[in-house]
């Protein structure tokens, strides 16, 4: 069961906001927590699902196939039987993608039927997803990639703008411009993401025509996120200007927290480094996980983060963040509806 909504004076949050994406995923609100490497574990995803939205366990975060299977079983238990999703992020490394196919098959065996794909077109994953009758939302950063995914037969598309925490691709357009252009060309359900951390932005995205929003950064300091308290305190102290994009010159833009590590990476890039090897350990995922997320050394590691982090002002349970977003969204949409009804 999703958690009941506590009544809030003056704000009537409806019990569900139906869109094509809530119908597709079987959720109450069009609020998606995109897969977050190292952070989207069973507990965080289950918290989002129980709050009435959808979350995606990042398949790449598990150290082994067995660990991944255990994470899925744990999530199933914690989400009280509600469906949850799995994020399959593909990369330019073929070995990674073979591993993602194995993890997809494990997820299907464990009964998962919702997938968020990202990184590259989901071509190698689609036959298995289709055969199982599962749902796939493909996340990309460019309208033309969204159209290609639509033609490929995915069920829905997430389009992210350059404000996205993580890998927003090389497209320089921001979320709302991307969304407005995409809506002229897409007939599939569309989720919009990147830079969204306040409910008034959700109202704007839904008014624009999106069927859902995808968020990440604003949930990074949630109580259920598997990261050290010192990291979470650093995150809630960060404002909208505390992130930066690096590695764009390698064609692999990565928006991260502007910590000491990020500044070293930026300096190397500025000095002309153009291969991953030249950045060495500074861009190592294992180092990010062990030093920053586990040990709380938040000035180390590549900490994916976008400017929506400025809206994360406390370490709170996921359900409270969702509730705040809903209230803010209803307040903003009420204002808009009253305004347009007068004319």
Ligand X SMILES: Cc1cc2nc3c(=O)[nH]c(=O)nc-3n(C[C@H](O)[C@H](O)[C@H](O)COP(=O)(O)O)c2cc1C
Residues interacting with ligand X, by CB under 6 A? 34-37, 39, 58, 87, 89, 118, 139, 160, 163-166, 193-196, 214-218, 220, 304-306, 308
Give the nearest distance from C-beta 243 to ligand X in angstroms: 9
> Of 106, 116, 112, 108, whose CA–CA distance to 84 is shortest?
112
Residues 174/194, Cβ–Cβ less than 8 Å: yes
Q: Which residue's beta carbon is nearest to the bound ligand X?
A: 216
Give the nearest distance from C-beta 88 to ligand X in angstroms: 8
Residues 71/56, Cβ–Cβ less than 8 Å: no
DSSP state, residue 3: P
Give the nearest distance from C-beta 100 to ligand X in angstroms: 11
Distance CA 183, CA 189 (A): 9
Residue in the block written with tokens 């939302």 = 137
How do beta strands 114-118 and 85-89 pair?
Answer: parallel
Distance CA 99, CA 220 (A): 26
Give the nearest distance from C-beta 3 to ligand X in angstroms: 22
* Minimum CB distance to ligand X smaller for 5 or for 137: 137
* Minimum CB distance to ligand X smaller for 103 or for 139: 139
Whole-Å CA distances, 341 to 147, 207, 330, 335: 34, 14, 16, 10
* Minimum CB distance to ligand X smaller for 194 or for 199: 194
Give the nearest distance from C-beta 10 to ligand X in angstroms: 28
DSSP, residue by residue, 77-94: HHTTT---EEEEE--S-H
* Minimum CB distance to ligand X smaller for 52 or for 310: 310
* Minimum CB distance to ligand X smaller for 261 or for 304: 304
Give the nearest distance from C-beta 179 to ligand X in angstroms: 13
Give the nearest distance from C-beta 205 to ligand X in angstroms: 12
Give the nearest distance from C-beta 1 to ligand X in angstroms: 26
* Minimum CB distance to ligand X smaller for 5 or for 49: 49
Size (the chain), residues:
343
* Minimum CB distance to ligand X smaller for 5 or for 54: 54
* Minimum CB distance to ligand X smaller for 35 or for 53: 35
From start to end of the chain, where are the E strands?
Answer: 31-33, 54-58, 85-89, 114-118, 135-140, 156-160, 190-193, 212-215, 243-246, 254-257
What 3-state DSSP class applies to 160?
strand
What 3-state DSSP class applies to 318?
helix
Whole-Å CA distances, 202 to 33, 76, 194, 238: 13, 28, 11, 22
* Minimum CB distance to ligand X smaller for 50 or for 139: 139
Give the nearest distance from C-beta 175 to ligand X in angstroms: 8
């Amino acid at each position: 069961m999703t958690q009941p909504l506590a009544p809030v004076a003056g704000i009537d949050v409806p019990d569900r906001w139906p869109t094509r994406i809530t119908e597709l995923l079987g959720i109450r609100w069009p609020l998606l927590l995109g897969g977050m490497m190292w952070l989207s574990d069973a507990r965080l995803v289950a918290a989002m699902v129980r709050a009435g939205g959808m979350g995606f366990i990042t398949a790449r975060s598990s150290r082994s196939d067995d660990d991944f299977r255990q994470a899925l079983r744990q999530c199933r238990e914690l989400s009280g039987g509600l469906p949850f999703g799995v994020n399959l992020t593909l990369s330019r490394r073929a070995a990674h993608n073979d591993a993602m196919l194995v993890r997809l098959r494990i997820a299907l065996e464990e009964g998962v039927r919702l997938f968020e794909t990202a990184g590259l077109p989901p071509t190698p994953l689609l036959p298995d997803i289709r055969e199982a009758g599962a749902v796939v939302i493909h996340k990309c950063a460019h309208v033309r990639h969204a159209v290609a995914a639509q033609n490929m037969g995915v069920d829905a598309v997430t389009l992210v703008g350059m404000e996205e925490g993580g890998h927003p691709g090389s497209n320089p357009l921001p979320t709302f411009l991307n969304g407005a252009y995409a809506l002229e060309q897409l007939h599939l359900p569309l989720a919009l993401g990147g830079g969204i951390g306040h409910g008034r932005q959700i109202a704007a995205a839904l008014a624009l025509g999106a069927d859902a929003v995808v968020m990440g950064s604003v949930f990074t300091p949630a109580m259920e996120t598997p990261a050290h308290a010192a990291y979470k305190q650093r995150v809630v102290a960060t404002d909208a200007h505390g992130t930066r994009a690096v590695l764009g010159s390698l064609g692999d833009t990565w928006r991260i927290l502007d910590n000491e590590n990020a500044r070293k990476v930026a300096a190397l890039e500025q000095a002309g480094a153009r291969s991953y090897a030249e950045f060495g350990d500074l861009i190592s995922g294992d180092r990010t996980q062990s030093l920053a997320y586990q040990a709380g050394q938040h000035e180390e590691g590549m900490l994916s983060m976008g400017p929506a982090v400025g809206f994360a002002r406390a370490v709170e349970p996921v359900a409270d963040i969702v509730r705040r977003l809903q209230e803010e969204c209803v307040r903003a949409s009420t204002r808009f509806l009253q305004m347009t009804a007068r004319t």
